[in-house]
Amino acid sequence: MSEKTKQNLYLSDYQDFIANTRRLTPKTVNEYMLDLSFFFRFILIFHKNPNINLDEKINQILKETSLDELTNEIITSVTWNDVQRFMSFYVGVLKNNERSQKRKLVSIRRFFDYLLFTNKIAATPIGDIDIRTPKKQPISLTENQIITIIEPILKSYEGKFKERDKAIIILFLELGLRLSELVSINLEDIENDAILIKGKGKKERILPLNETCISAINTYLKVRPKSYEIKTGHRQALFLSRLKQRISTRGVQLIIDKLFLLANLNNEERKFTTHKLRHSFATILADKGVSIHDIQDFLGHENLATTSIYVNSNLHRLKEVKDKNPILKNENI
């Protein structure tokens, strides 16, 4: 097997890994591979000419450089200094912003982590190189805003679908769900005081329902259309639209728009969306001192997702956390 074939296998195996095992989106996979292509073309240039100047001319040379000459030996011989030099070029010559710099570094780091994991290298060359990107503070509701503004609105909330709308808002606030997760909930996903959530990448998690959630769901189920009234193929959907089919993501966002219109919280600079409710959930729990690991479990973030063998104990622990930290104080809204 030629070195080129082996090199192609390294990259194609990694691409297959992030696409199928990590289940990243095609767009993200493409971005990672473009970052790696850019990095290794830079490495090839310095492999041929270690004394080349880091100036604007190198950018043109990068565009003209092919990866055909990249071998396994070159890949596995990359050092901390090589990565540091690349980042210096990326920052000093190309003058890309910090967010772009960080993405490049993450792409390189994860590729070498993969090589380390698959025993292609003995140590990663990334070391302690880091770029601190200032994070924008996500827009979120404070606990006081929820208590003084949102709760009163929910108590007096009116409309033809008020039971459904209130249940949707409460689940967002109490469980920190993604929009796609909420609309995909089926009747069979709810069992007693627990709910099955189907998250990103077909990953599932079980979350506890506190009394506020259970009460809101039960109140809605009393007025939910009967099975024979619902369109075929939509009868298992928990939340239904006025057309008696599974509610759409747009339909849910309109409900949230109505909530914040009533609350007079939206303006040109701050617009609350369903995802901002998710931010609110996480922020309030963090402010209460809840472990970041517990919050990550609620949110279903991949890097701290628990395996199926821990579901039962994890659910019990999360239930205790949620019972101690309800977002909405009134169970009979």
Active site residues: 178, 200, 275, 278, 301, 310
What distance in Å separates the CA atoms of residue 55 and residue 176, rounded to the nearest whole number? 48
> Is there a contact between 62 and 41 (Cβ–Cβ < 8 Å)?
yes
**Closest of 239, 212, 209, 211 to residue 223, by C-alpha:** 239
Residue 201 gets the label, from left (phi > 0), alpha (psi -120 to 50) or beta, of left
What distance in Å separates the CA atoms of residue 39 and residue 82, rounded to the nearest whole number? 10
From residue 251, give the alpha-carbon distance in Å to each of 93, 224, 272, 333: 47, 16, 15, 22
Residue 288, CB half-sphere, CA atoms under 13 Å: how many?
19
Q: How many other β-carbons are positioned within 10 Å of the β-carbon of residue 45?
A: 17
From residue 70, give the alpha-carbon distance in Å to each of 78, 83, 108, 250: 12, 16, 16, 47
Q: Which residues contact 126 (CB under 8 A, 6 or more apart)?
A: 80, 83, 105, 108, 109, 112
Q: What are phi and psi of 259, to 5 degrees?
A: -60, -50
**Closest of 134, 131, 31, 129 to residue 85, by C-alpha:** 129
For residue 194, give the 3-state DSSP assignment: strand
